[in-house]
A and B are shown apart, each in its own frame.
Chain A
Amino acid sequence: MIRLNNINKSYVMGSNSLHVLKGIDLQIEQGDFVSIMGSSGSGKSTLLNILGMLDNYDSGTYHLSGNLIQNMSEKKAAKYRNDLVGFIFQSFNLISFKNAMENVALPLYYKGVPRKKRNQIALEYLEKLGLKDWANHMPNEMSGGQKQRVAIARALISQPKIILADEPTGALDSATSYEVMDILKKVNDDGITVIIVTHEHDIAAMTNQIIRLKDGLIHEIIRNGELKQFQKEYTHGLEAAQIPSYV
Chain B
Amino acid sequence: MFDIDKWQEIFATIKKNKMRTFLTGFSVAWGIFMLMILLGSGNGLSNGVANNFMNDAVNAMWIWRGETTIPYEGMKSGRPIQFHNDDQEIVQKVPGVGVSSGRYFMGNTRYSYLKESGEYTTITCQPALKDVENLILNEGRFINDLDIIQKRKVVVIGADIKTALFKDSVALGEYVNVNMVPFKVVGICSEPGSTQNRNAYMPLSTAQMIFSGSNKLHNLALTINATTLEESQAIEEQIRNALGKQHKFDPKDEGAIGLYNKLENYIQTMKIFQAIKIFIWIIGIGTLIAGIVGVSNIMLIVVKERTKEIGIRKAIGASPSSVIGLILLESIMITTIAGYIGLVLGTGLMEMINYFMVQGADAAAAAAANGGERGESIFLNPTVDINIAVYSTLLLIVAGAIAGYIPAKRAASIKPIVALRDE
A residues near B, CB below 8 A?
Answer: 49, 52, 54-56, 74-75, 78-79, 81-83, 87, 89, 93-95, 97-98, 102, 106-107, 109-111, 114-115, 154, 158
A77 vs chain B, min Cβ distance (A): 8
A137 vs chain B, min Cβ distance (A): 14
Contact A49 B314 (CB under 8 A): no
Given known pairs A49-B417, A115-B5, the reply for A95 and B321 (CB within 8 Å) is no
Contact B322 A95 (CB under 8 A): no
Contact A79 B17 (CB under 8 A): no
* With A79-B317, A102-B12 already in contact, 17 other A-B pairs whose C-beta atoms are closer than 8 Å: A54-B420, A74-B314, A74-B319, A74-B320, A74-B412, A75-B319, A81-B316, A81-B317, A83-B317, A93-B308, A93-B315, A97-B17, A107-B316, A109-B5, A115-B8, A154-B316, A158-B316
The answer for the CA separation of A49 and B421 in the assembled complex, in Å, is: 12
Contact A98 B12 (CB under 8 A): yes
The answer for the CA separation of A55 and B417 in the assembled complex, in Å, is: 6
**Is the CB of B374 closer than 8 A to any CB of chain A?**
no
Tell me the nearest residue of chain A to B323, going by C-beta. A78
The answer for the CA separation of A54 and B318 in the assembled complex, in Å, is: 12
Contact A75 B321 (CB under 8 A): yes
6 nearest A-B residue pairs (beta carbon)? A82-B317, A97-B16, A54-B417, A110-B317, A78-B319, A107-B316
Contact A93 B420 (CB under 8 A): yes
**Is the CB of B357 closer than 8 A to any CB of chain A?**
no
Contact A54 B320 (CB under 8 A): no
Q: Which of B199-248 contact A (CB under 8 A)?
A: none
**Is the CB of B145 closer than 8 A to any CB of chain A?**
no
Please give, as numbers and ranges, the residues of chain A lying within 8 Å of B311 by CB-CB distance: 93
The answer for the CA separation of A110 and B321 in the assembled complex, in Å, is: 12
The answer for the CA separation of A83 and B318 in the assembled complex, in Å, is: 11
Contact A82 B415 (CB under 8 A): no
B320 vs chain A, min Cβ distance (A): 5
The answer for the CA separation of A106 and B95 in the assembled complex, in Å, is: 85
Contact A75 B320 (CB under 8 A): yes
B8 vs chain A, min Cβ distance (A): 6
The 7 sampled A-B contact pairs (Cβ below 8 Å) are A74-B412, A81-B314, A81-B315, A82-B318, A98-B12, A109-B9, A110-B318
**Is the CB of B141 closer than 8 A to any CB of chain A?**
no
The SS class assigned to the B binding surface is: helix
B306 vs chain A, min Cβ distance (A): 10
B411 vs chain A, min Cβ distance (A): 11
Given B13, B314, B420, which contacts A78 in the complex, CB threshold below 8 Å?
B314
B334 vs chain A, min Cβ distance (A): 15
CB-defined interface of B385-423 with A at 8 Å, one 1/0 digit per residue?
A: 000000000000000000000000000110111001000
The answer for the CA separation of A154 and B319 in the assembled complex, in Å, is: 18
Max chain A C-beta neighbours (<10 A), residue from B12, B319, B415: B319
Please give, as numbers and ranges, the residues of chain A lying within 8 Å of B316 by CB-CB distance: 81-82, 87, 106-107, 110, 154, 158
The answer for the CA separation of A106 and B9 in the assembled complex, in Å, is: 10
Contact A54 B416 (CB under 8 A): yes
Please give, as numbers and ranges, the residues of chain A lying within 8 Å of B309 by CB-CB distance: 95
Please give, as numbers and ranges, the residues of chain A lying within 8 Å of B312 by CB-CB distance: 93-95
**Is the CB of B84 closer than 8 A to any CB of chain A?**
no
Tell me the nearest residue of chain A to B322, going by C-beta. A110
Please give, as numbers and ranges, the residues of chain A lying within 8 Å of B13 by CB-CB distance: 97
**Is the CB of B313 closer than 8 A to any CB of chain A?**
yes
Tell me the nearest residue of chain A to B414, going by C-beta. A74
Contact B415 A56 (CB under 8 A): yes
Contact B317 A74 (CB under 8 A): no
A16 vs chain B, min Cβ distance (A): 18
Contact B318 A78 (CB under 8 A): yes
B185 vs chain A, min Cβ distance (A): 81
CB-defined interface of B292-321 with A at 8 Å, one 1/0 digit per residue?
A: 000000000000000011011111111111
The answer for the CA separation of A102 and B313 in the assembled complex, in Å, is: 12
Please give, as numbers and ranges, the residues of chain B lying within 8 Å of A111 by CB-CB distance: 317
The answer for the CA separation of A74 and B416 in the assembled complex, in Å, is: 9
B22 vs chain A, min Cβ distance (A): 15
The answer for the CA separation of A216 and B214 in the assembled complex, in Å, is: 122
Tell me the nearest residue of chain B to A102, going by C-beta. B12
The answer for the CA separation of A72 and B8 in the assembled complex, in Å, is: 31
Contact A87 B315 (CB under 8 A): yes
Given known pairs A93-B420, A110-B322, the reply for A54 and B12 (CB within 8 Å) is no
Given known pairs A78-B320, A79-B319, the reply for A106 and B313 (CB within 8 Å) is yes
Given known pairs A98-B16, A110-B317, the reply for A74 and B5 (CB within 8 Å) is no
Q: Which of B371-394 contact A (CB under 8 A)?
A: none
The answer for the CA separation of A129 and B217 in the assembled complex, in Å, is: 108
B15 vs chain A, min Cβ distance (A): 9
Contact B420 A74 (CB under 8 A): no
Max chain B C-beta neighbours (<10 A), residue from A49, A79, A154: A49
The answer for the CA separation of A141 and B416 in the assembled complex, in Å, is: 26
Contact B415 A54 (CB under 8 A): yes
Tell me the nearest residue of chain A to B6, going by C-beta. A109
A91 vs chain B, min Cβ distance (A): 9
A56 vs chain B, min Cβ distance (A): 7
Contact B5 A114 (CB under 8 A): yes
Max chain B C-beta neighbours (<10 A), residue from A78, A109, A114: A78
